[in-house]
Each structure stands twice: as structure tokens, then as C-alpha cells.
A = this chain, B = another copy of it.
Amino acid sequence: MQQTAGSGVHMANGYDPARSVALDPTTADLIRRRDRSLGPSYRLFYDEPIAVASASGLVLTGMDGRTYLDAYNNVPAIGHSHPAVASAVDRQLRTLNTHTRYLTEPILEYSERLLAKFPAPLERITYTCTGSEAIDLAVRIARHRTGKRGLIISEHAYHGTTVTAAGMSPSLGPNNPLGADVVTIPSIDTARTPAADIADRLASSIRSAIDELNERGAGVAALVLDSIFSSDGVQASPAGFLQPAAAIIRDVDALWIADEVQPGFGRTGNWWGFQRHGITPDLVVLGKPMGNGLPIAAVVGSLDVQAGFGAEVRYFNTFGGNPVCIAAATAVLDVIEKDGLVEHAAVVGDQLLTGLNALVDRHDHAFHARGAGLFGALDLGTEDRPDPALASRVVNSMRRAGVLISASGPDAASLKIRPPLPVTDTQCALILETLDAALADEEKTTS
């Protein structure tokens, strides 16, 4: 069966038809049609994949009429099917949708507004359609700027799907080879490292990686990090632990590329994840939530860092920065500002983290809670023994109870909770209650 994951292709929360679960006929039929038309690299979520008919706000409605609270999807950042996005897209799509070799107004208005959210000297923006394309472009710029090839990434990083971005994404598994000039540093495990040591360990890892790239003759073009370490199990605190690393990278004249695809646009309770750490990257990569699901992404950086590349290499992305996707992104910016969603993410995020910590107190196999804003994580297992099987059971149990989350991290034992930003305190409480019940059920089963 085509959708079977091959050996060595473990995906946290991936559907595996070999683990037979009785599926309802509609779902089974959709999977059969999918197997007969889509490429064999596709994977589904959950032991019982969800056939979705519609979505609104934080609620997905299945084809069977069941509803689910979405506590995982960070793409519809301002909520599913937001009418402000639909109206803006409709208006623009009936007026003009062309490319950046003509002058159009929407891209300039949006760029000016968005750039105002960045600290100096982050002052110029280039649009792509996906985070993968944006990471890929940032690498091209960094290599051109430094004349070096080497890239330093985290051990369980995910940065995208192009040849170059996949070569920087060891979390895709052992069959996905690292790029030739890519060196990894160990995943930061903030749950198992004394807080006072985290910054030093990271700095020391980066020094070793620099040495290795220099020995190989590649030199260092850039350090590429997601400041919330989304695929490395969510590593958020203590805020500021990136600062010594930033100094080291600057010392060797390499660039800091901040992958803000996950933490950006308010998710962590700040506009940008790097702000929590008090650093200013050289290039910032934006993606997922930017257009609430319309394909838009970007690279932001200083003119100085990009000038040489820009003078010598033209970059044209046919769909990048088209007026329709820009209209969607503008609506997202409007709603985030008008509804105060950055501040809201901080407030409800505190409620989420407090609740997760209470679960650690209450459940023996809930080992550590952490997060920033609406990006929460809960490690299952014990300090010595992370429990990915338990994480998988809890994720699927919550899905049956109507709340969608997933698992992540090098051990796939960290629950990842990441609802759209407008999650209410009531919805947050429901997520926590459902998780509490799922953990209690597991204890009953195993005791």
C-alpha cells in the first residue's frame, strides 16, 4: 500500500496503514483515491486520518459532521477561513494579479508596513511563495556575501523541502542526506540541561562546528536557527540564550539566518522569535502564517548584506509577492494589529504554560512543560526515558476526543501545542482538560 511509511521513515504522528485501524468507508475511500492519484511521498496525520469538509476559526468540521478544535495548525494564524482574508483576496483577484516586473501598489504598501515591525537595519524584503524558497534564497545570499559555503544547523532541524533546504533538515529522517557543506550542532535539550549552562553549551557547539567547517575548507556562510526550535522539541527558555552564539557568528563574519517560519508573526508573544532573545539576525526568513494559508513567504535583511547579491544576481519569483497573496498578507497584518493578537498570544500563552506545568505536577509520565506564547510543549516519559509511544497514543487519544495536536522533537516524545492565535481562554482550558483526561486514561491503562 502506497501510503505505508518505508523503513527508517518514522514521522511523528504519521498515519501508517500497516497499523490497522478500522476506518470509516468515506475515509478509506479517500485514502484509496489518494493512493491512486497522488505521489508516493505524501503522508497523512493520525492513526485515523481526518477527512475535513470545512473549517472556521479554530474549528475543523469533518465530512462526517464531527468537529475538532485545532490546537496545532500555525498556518491559519488568525483562524481558519477568516473573512478578512477572503474579502481582500476576492477584491484583488477581480482587479489585478501580476508579477513584480511591473509596478503595483499593494506590494509597496505591505512591505512598508511589515518592515516597520523589524528593528534596524532589517530594511529590505524579497518575496517568495514558501518558507523553503525563502531559506534557499537566504542561503544563496549568505554564500554570495561571505564567499563561504558552510552552514550550521541544529541536529533535528527542519528548514524545508528544496534540495538545499532538505539538506538542512535532518528531522526528515535518515534517508534524507545532509547537504555537503552542512554541519549540525546537538539539539538543545532545555529540559535536561541546567538553565545556566544552556547558552554556554550552545556557544561551545557552534565553535566546534565552525572549526569543522574551516577544517573541511568550506568556511562558514551562516548559522541557521529557528529561535523556538520547533522540530528540536520546542526550546524556548531562558530567553536570551542565543546571545553568545550571535557574538561568535559575528566574530567569524558569517551571517545569522533566523528561520522565523515557526515563531514569526506573534506566535511567541512577540512579533518575531529572535526578539525574545535580544538579538538582531542578518537575514530573517518568513513563511507559514504570513498569508493565513495563501502561499507567501519572504526574506528580510539589511541592504548592506544583500547589496552584492542584488547587484550581481537577479531574483525573480513568478508568483512571489503577487498582489493577491500580498492582499492576504495585508489582511493578516490588519487582523493581528486590530485584534491585538501578539499580546493575546502572550496572555493565553501564559495560561497554556501554567496549565501544562500543572499537568507535569499531576502526571508521573508528564516530565517537562515549556514554551513561549502559543507555542507549548510537554515532554512525555521520564528524565531518563522519553516515551514516544505514549506521545503517539496521547495525540491519537486527543484526536478521538476532538482536539488536534501533534508530537515533535528528536525523540518524538514532546507534545506540540500550537493553536491559531485567536484561541480563547475557554478553548485553551478545553485543550488542557482534554490533555489531562488523555494522560489520566493512559495511567489507568498502564497501572
Report A's interface with B, CB cutoff 8 A: 2, 4-6, 8-9, 11, 14, 27, 30-31, 33-34, 37-45, 49-55, 60, 63, 73, 75-76, 80-81, 83, 85-86, 89-90, 93-105, 107-108, 111-112, 115, 123-126, 128-133, 136-137, 139-140, 161-164, 166, 172-173, 175-176, 287-288, 292-295, 299, 301, 303, 306-307, 309-320, 322, 324-325
Nearest residue in B to A115 (C-beta to C-beta)? B37
Question: Would you call A41 and B309 a contact (CB within 8 A)?
Answer: yes
Please determine whether B293 and A322 come into contact, CB atoms closer than 8 angstroms.
yes
Contacts of A96 in B (CB 8 A): 52-55, 80-81
In the complex, A136→B51 CA distance in Å?
A: 30
For A81, the closest partner residue in chain B by CB is B94
For A41, give the chain B residue with the smallest CB separation: B315
Within 8 Å CB of A5, what residues of B? 311, 314
Measured CB to CB, the nearest residue on chain B to A166 is B140
Would A314 and B44 count as touching, CB distance under 8 A? no
From B51, B172, B322, give the contact of A104 (CB < 8 A). Answer: B51
Q: For residue A129, give the distance in angstroms from its CB to the closest CB of chain B.
A: 4
> Measured between C-beta atoms, what is the minimum distance from A311 to chain B in Å?
4
Bound-complex Cα distance A190 to B262 (A):
49
> Within the complex, which residue of B45, B299, B303 is in contact with A101, where a contact is CB–CB below 8 Å?
B45
A73 to chain B: which residues have CB within 8 Å? Answer: 98-99
Supposing A97-B80, A164-B163 touch, asked if A129 and B37 sit within 8 A by C-beta, the answer is no
A9 near B293: Cβ-Cβ < 8 Å:
no
Contact between A319 and B295, CB atoms less than 8 A apart: yes
User: Are the C-beta atoms of A38 and B318 separated by less than 8 Å?
Assistant: no
Kindly list chain B residues whose C-beta atoms are within 8 Å of the C-beta of A130. Answer: 128-130, 133, 317-320
Once A31-B103, A37-B124, A102-B49 are accepted as A-B contacts, the answer to whether A295 and B129 lie under 8 Å apart by CB is yes
Q: A162 CA to B128 CA in the complex, in Å?
A: 10
Q: How many copies does the complex hold?
A: 2
A227: min CB distance to chain B, Å: 19
| Assembled-state Cα–Cα distance A71/B307 (Å) | 33
Q: Are A314 and B43 in contact (CB under 8 A)?
A: yes
Name the B residues within 8 Å of A173 (CB-CB): 313-314
Are B161 and A317 in contact (CB-based, < 8 A)? yes
- A313: chain B residues at CB < 8 Å are 9, 41, 172-173, 175-176
Q: Tell me whether A9 and B81 are in contact (CB under 8 A).
A: no
Whether the Cβ atoms of B103 and A34 lie closer than 8 Å is yes
Whether B102 pairs with A299 at a CB distance below 8 angstroms is no
A51-B103, A80-B97, A322-B293 known; A315+B39 contact, CB < 8 A: yes
Contacts of A322 in B (CB 8 A): 293, 295
B38 touches A111 (CB 8 A): yes
A8→B317 contact, CB < 8 A: no
Q: A94 contacts which chain B residues (CB < 8 A)?
A: 81, 83, 86
**Per a CB cutoff under 8 Å, which of B6, B39, B132, B312 touches A126?**
B39
Are the CB atoms of A295 and B325 closer together than 8 Å?
yes
Could you jot down 23 A-B contacts, CB within 8 Å?
A: A5-B314, A8-B312, A9-B312, A37-B108, A37-B111, A41-B314, A42-B310, A42-B316, A43-B314, A43-B316, A45-B101, A45-B102, A52-B103, A53-B105, A75-B318, A81-B97, A97-B293, A129-B130, A130-B130, A162-B163, A162-B164, A163-B163, A288-B318
Residue of B nearest to A139 (CB): B163
A125:B162 contact, CB within 8 angstroms: no
Indicate whether A49 sits within 8 Å of B9 (C-beta atoms), given known contacts A41-B310, A80-B97, A324-B294: no
Question: Are the C-beta atoms of A162 and B175 separated by less than 8 Å?
Answer: no
The verdict on A89 contacting B93 (CB below 8 Å), with A52-B103, A124-B39 known, is yes
State whether B44 touches A103 (Cβ < 8 A).
yes
